[in-house]
Every structure is written in C-alpha cells, then in structure tokens.
Structure 1
Amino acid sequence: MTLLRLEQVTRTVELPDAEPLHILRGVDLEVEVGDHVSIVGRSGSGKSTLLNLLGLLDEPTSGRLVFDDVPLERMRSGQRDRRRGRDVGFIFQQFNLLPGRSAIENVVTPLLYAPPAQFWRRRRLAADMLDRVGLGGRLDALPTQLSGGEQQRVAIARALVRGPRLILADEPTGALDVETGERVMALLDQVAEDSGAALITITHDRNVAALARRHYRLDAGVLTPTDADVAVGATVPVGTSAAAAPSPVAPAWPAASSPPVAMPSAFPGERL
C-alpha cells in the first residue's frame, strides 16, 4: 500500500535581481507502508527542502504530492497540520530536547495535543515508549544527565509515541560517534519495522544508508534510484573503500552508569 507519492515535484525559489533557484527538479518518489528508504546527497543537494515537502511543511512549486491517497493541494492548512502532527514523526541531527525537562516530560509533549484516548494515557504511553528504546530506568533524568546516545533515543521515543505512519530521520546520527550512531540506527530501524511505519532516512553517512531496503541519490535537486553499493559508495570519503565500512550492529546498550535522578513529574501548573 502506497503511503506517500511524489510525481514530478519541483521546488523553485524566486530571488530578487537574480535567476530563479531550482532546488528540486522533477522528483518522483513512492514510499510504501513499512518501507525503509535512504536518500543520500551532499550538502546543498536539496535534502532539507525535500524533507520539508515529505513532512508536509512546504508545498511544491509544481508537480504532485499525495499522502495517504489525499493530494496535498486538497488539504486545507489546518488539515495538513493535523495530519502532520498525527502521522509524521521527525528525528533530527540535533536532539532538540526541552532543557530542564525530564526524559518522560520530553516524550509526553506530543501527546498534549493528541486525541483523548492518547491524552489521558500520556504518561503510560511515554513510559512504555522509553522502555522500548531501552530507557525504562531513566524516565526522570534530565537531558544534561543523559549521554548523546541516550538523548537521541529520547528523541526517537518522542517521534514515535503517537504512532506515526511516516518517520523522517534527518542526519539522525550526525551528532554521535560511529558506534553509538550504528546502535541508534539499528534501534530506529527495528522500532519502525515493529510498528509498521515507513522510515525515510536523509543522510550522507554510508553506515546509516546501508540499513535501508531502497536507496536514492539526490544530486543538484535530481533524485535517482540506485542500489545499495552505489548509494553507500557515494558517501564514502575519498580514499576509503565502501567495503571497509563497518556492518551495522544490533542495539546493545550498556547499563546506565548512574541511577536515575528523581525530578518533578509534571510541568509547572499541570500534571502530565
């Protein structure tokens, strides 16, 4: 079943006193439910612009974007916002956790705008998701008390807690060391597969791209399907063999080095 489809999508920006800037050129892409797609490309290739379109944050200049059989042009602004909040989860290179809020408070945040069935169970849902990513013993830890890998796992839990149908991961391991990044991606891939969500990973990291089942390259706004070897090889630094890239490993997280720190369980003036 097709979840997301782009047909000859372009994105052009008009510049004052200059030629128009063509960021995306005739992009075709079809993503199935439960799919895992990687898109690799250098800086300036149009990856961020494509991510904004896939996440219903922007509109194409021309072409067609269809999400769950509904063309984007038929969605009113409010409908698009509600669909994005319900069906799309974002994971970024920077963790973007709320400072001064515990892990569970960060994961609860998307549920504050959820339907009643999720809203009234928000702490239970958040705790269950954190346990699923291996942080069941760190619910009350602040971001400053978590390692980089733990913070990214909190961000993953936050993106998945509402059960999105599409997960967009933008350089999700860019702020992590190689070993931690591999574990985070193996975890994300497994959780997405278990939940039946489609996962699109936008990256220039060969190890991250290798986990996907389908691969694309984005060059100067042109999206081209390719095979794993080409996609992975395209991201290897000069002088490095693609075959030398380490294989992804299953998540095997060490026990927390310190016990969880008890913190307030609610935002000021509100019980979560």
Structure 2
Amino acid sequence: MLHILRGVDLTVHPGDHVAIVGRSGSGKSTLLNLLGLIDRQTTGDLLFQGHEVSRLSDRRRARLRGASIGFVFQQFNLLDGRTALENVMMPMMYGTARQFWGREKAAMEMLDRVGLAGRAHQKPNRLSGGEQQRVAVARALVRRPTLILADEPTGALDVTTGEAIMSLLDEIARDSDAALVTITHDLQVARLSHRSYLLDGGVLHDVDTSAAHSALAATEGIRAGREAVGA
C-alpha cells in the first residue's frame, strides 16, 4: 500500500486562512481532496463543523460538499460550452430555492467583484488564462461557502491580478466567516495567510514562510541533483 500522507494533524477554524506549501508530489493535492470530501482517508478521523464525515455515504458527502465547500481548481475546470456567467451560476442550480431563483444576479455580482462583468457572456475559449482563473474563483465563492479550498489560485495570473484575487478570497472568507485553505508554490501567496505549513514526505510541518522557503529550496535542490545524476 502506498502511504501518501502521514502524521497530518490540522485544524482550521472559521475565518482562518491557512497556506500549505510543498514541492510537487508531496501530497498537497491528496490533502486538498480529503479536506474537500472528494477522497476518503484510509485511517484517522476527519471532522467537518464538528461532525465525523468519513463514514457518510457518497450522496451525503456530495450534498455537504456542494452546500459548504468552494473549490478553486488549478486547472479551472470550466464548462467549455457555457459562458462565464453560466459557469458561475452552475453551483446555485443545486442550492436552495432562493439561491436558484437569484442565481443570475448573484453570479453577475461575483463576476463584477473579480473584474469580469464585461466578459460575462464570453465562453472560456474566448477568455485568457487569467480571466478563466477569475471565473473559477467567482464560481467557487458565489454560494458563500464555509470552507474555501484554493489550489494554486494565482498560478495563471500576473502579480497585480494575483494579489487582487488573494485579497478577494480573504475578503469573502472574512465577510462569510469562512475558512480558507490555499495550496501554493508561491511563498508570496503563503505570506498572506495567518498560518503556513510545509508538506514534506507526507508529513505536515508547522513553519513560517521563510523556513518553508529554505526547506522547499533544499528539497528541490536534492531532486534536481538526483535527476542530473540519473540523466
């Protein structure tokens, strides 16, 4: 059996902003999928809002995930045949009656907040990578989730836009008293969080960003050296 994560002990409170950094292959995506109730852990406990969720049925997990968790995916995962507005509206199709009937207004307001109101009726293939990322952020936030999971949320953005998006994520999380967990390689993004962790060898280490930078540099250097020897 392949053990991807070991010794992970993490508590995230409402209004908290946690950043997790680590090199490729360290288990960051696996951890994000566990927090987002996509994957199931083989051992240990996973609590959401004080309730053990690892034993819930797939249907109940999906319902909880849709109602309470917002994902900002690294690969955007936008629907190609839908406009930006329709993509942002999608999570509200499965919400309460009030959310359903107010979905277009709420989606337009969120697109406006990410600076894309003027691009609302464009499909993803007519949007730049940075614009697609902002649509993905708007879609994740439109239902005001209690947990926001962001996988490299600034990866396709320039520095200025990336800072604006992180400020928006923080603002929405603060206004909604939501928890924000950011997976990132960018130490500048990690520095914006309240707490930073380094995931290395499947183990989560509580560190400051300067220590994380040194550790990342060391692990990347070791990996590069091994690749050079293998070549």
TM over 0.5: yes
Please name the residue that 1:7 is paired with: none
Equivalent residue pairs, number: 220
In the alignment, is the contact (CA less than 8 A) between 2:19 and 2:181 conserved in 1?
Answer: yes
In the alignment, is the contact (CA less than 8 A) between 1:38 and 1:202 conserved in 2?
Answer: yes
Q: Secondary structure of the equivalent of 1:22?
A: coil
Please name the residue that 2:226 is paired with: none
Please name the residue that 1:172 is paired with: 153
* 1:158-198 deviation line (CA, Å, top 9, x unaligned): 00111110011111222334443333223322232222211
Inter-partner Cα distance in structure 2 for 1:234 and 1:23: 19
Question: Going by fraction, where is helix more abundant, 1 or 2?
Answer: 2
Inter-partner Cα distance in structure 2 for 1:183 and 1:128: 16
- Structure 2 gap segments, 5+ residues each: 222-231
In the alignment, is the contact (CA less than 8 A) between 2:148 and 2:181 conserved in 1?
Answer: yes
Q: 2:16 aligns with which of 35, 45, 57?
A: 35
Matches within 5 A, 1:3-152: 20-152=1-133
Please name the residue that 1:184 is paired with: 165
Inter-partner Cα distance in structure 2 for 1:83 and 1:114: 11
With CA pairs under 8 Å and 6+ residues apart, which has the higher RCO, 1 or 2? Answer: 2
TM-score by length of 1: 0.75
Inter-partner Cα distance in structure 1 for 2:199 and 2:147: 20
Inter-partner Cα distance in structure 1 for 2:163 and 2:215: 19
- Structure 1 gap segments, 5+ residues each: 1-19, 240-272
Q: 1:204 aligns with which of 159, 182, 185?
A: 185
Inter-partner Cα distance in structure 2 for 1:74 and 1:26: 21
Please name the residue that 2:229 is paired with: none
Inter-partner Cα distance in structure 1 for 2:148 and 2:56: 20
In the alignment, is the contact (CA less than 8 A) between 2:144 and 2:172 conserved in 1?
Answer: no
* 1:231-252 deviation line (CA, Å, top 9, x unaligned): 344446989xxxxxxxxxxxxx
Q: After alignment, is 218-227 or 136-145 more displaced?
A: 136-145
Q: Secondary structure of the equivalent of 1:137?
A: helix
Please name the residue that 2:202 is paired with: 221
Question: Going by fraction, where is strand more abundant, 1 or 2?
Answer: 1
Inter-partner Cα distance in structure 1 for 2:32 and 2:158: 24
Q: Secondary structure of the equivalent of 1:63?
A: coil
Please name the residue that 2:225 is paired with: none
Q: Say what the alpha-carbon RMSD is for the aligned residues.
A: 2.0
Runs of 4+ off more than 6 Å: none
TM-score by length of 2: 0.88
Inter-partner Cα distance in structure 2 for 1:155 and 1:190: 16
